[in-house]
Structure 1
Amino acid sequence: MKKTPLLNVALSRLIASLGHGDMVVIGDAGLPVPPGVELIDLALTHGVPDFVSTLKVVLSEMQVESHALAKEIFDKQPSALTALDALNEEGALGRRDLLSHEQFKVLSRQARAIVRTGECQPYCNIVLVAGVTF
């Protein structure tokens, strides 16, 4: 059994296979999944697992170079933004790019996978761009 926090097989496999610049989206329960993009569905019920907890576990294994958020998170989800800012201060998220929600959905078409959480608060979505550890 793994010693690190991430136990989900599909998510572990995805992170292990990422190359520099590959994108992974962690999204709320309502984020659409474009055709052809792998879905790793973690959602069990409303709020389980939540967005921030899922992100923290992913960050325990994924090297992130940069991330993208929809601008709407600033007005609609200040508590999620506070958590993201704290992670960014730790250096876990790299450079931040801001997009409209529509631009975010277009960018998600390029993702290797979308990780669906049970989060039911709108705009709790992030694109993580894989970095390198060397």
Structure 2
Amino acid sequence: MKSRILNERLAAIVASLRHGEMIFIADAGSGTSAKAMYPLDTNVEYLDLGVVTGSPSFRDVFTTLINCGDFEGAIVTEDMKELNHEDFQIVKKAFDSQNIHIMHYIPEYYQMRDRCKAVVQTGDYGVHAQAILIAGYPSADIPMKWLKEGLKEDAE
């Protein structure tokens, strides 16, 4: 049976994505409230899919979106690559290495999150069980430098 998105709002978000727009798959620990360390920008739609601890998982949401949507790449944190090998392998199965972009976690990843069209929060409590998917279609890939344009440089 072909996968399809049953959540009405999530299906509408995925259908509305245009080339270069992004959707953030967040783990259950991602702070999005106004009191979070990095509050979610009010212009980013927030959709909480979490049902119980661990459900839906990052894998469930990521693979469903990949199967049902049109995505050309993903952005993950360096911490996911180092600390969450299982979920990183899921990302690697979906995209060629040149279409997986790895970036620093704080504050750059949160700044990129705030440029997404929507944040979809899972029930997954895995370490850095999150990714940003970049919408695409059969054309040239969007250069990462265009997506990162305007991000504040790390103050280290």
TM-score normalized with structure 1 length: 0.88
Query: Structure 1 residues 94 and 128, CA, compared in 2 at 3 Å: closer, same or farther?
Result: farther
2:134, 2:120 → 1: CA distance? 14
Does the 8 Å CA contact 1:15/1:62 hold for their aligned counterparts? Answer: yes
Deviation at 1:84, TM superposition (A): 1.7
Does the 8 Å CA contact 1:6/1:60 hold for their aligned counterparts? Answer: no
Q: Equivalent of 1:35, from 33, 41, 44?
A: 41
> Deviation per CA, 1:41-80, whole angstroms, max 9, x where unpaired?
1001110000011111111221112210000012211111
2:57, 2:136 → 1: CA distance? 24
Does the 8 Å CA contact 2:74/2:91 hold for their aligned counterparts? Answer: no
Partner of 2:73: 66
RMSD over equivalenced CA pairs, Å = 1.7
Instruction: Report whether the alignment pairs 1:14 with 2:18.
Output: no
Greater length-normalized contact order (CA 8 Å, ≥ 6 residues apart): 1
Trace 1:1-134 onto structure 2 (pairs within 5 A): 4-33=3-32, 34-36=40-42, 37-88=44-95, 95-102=99-106, 103-133=108-138
Deviation at 1:105, TM superposition (A): 1.1
In structure 2, runs of 5+ residues without a counterpart are 33-39, 140-156
In structure 1, runs of 5+ residues without a counterpart are none
Q: How many residues align?
A: 129
Deviation at 1:27, TM superposition (A): 1.1
Larger radius of gyration, structure 1 or 2?
A: 2
Deviation at 1:88, TM superposition (A): 2.2
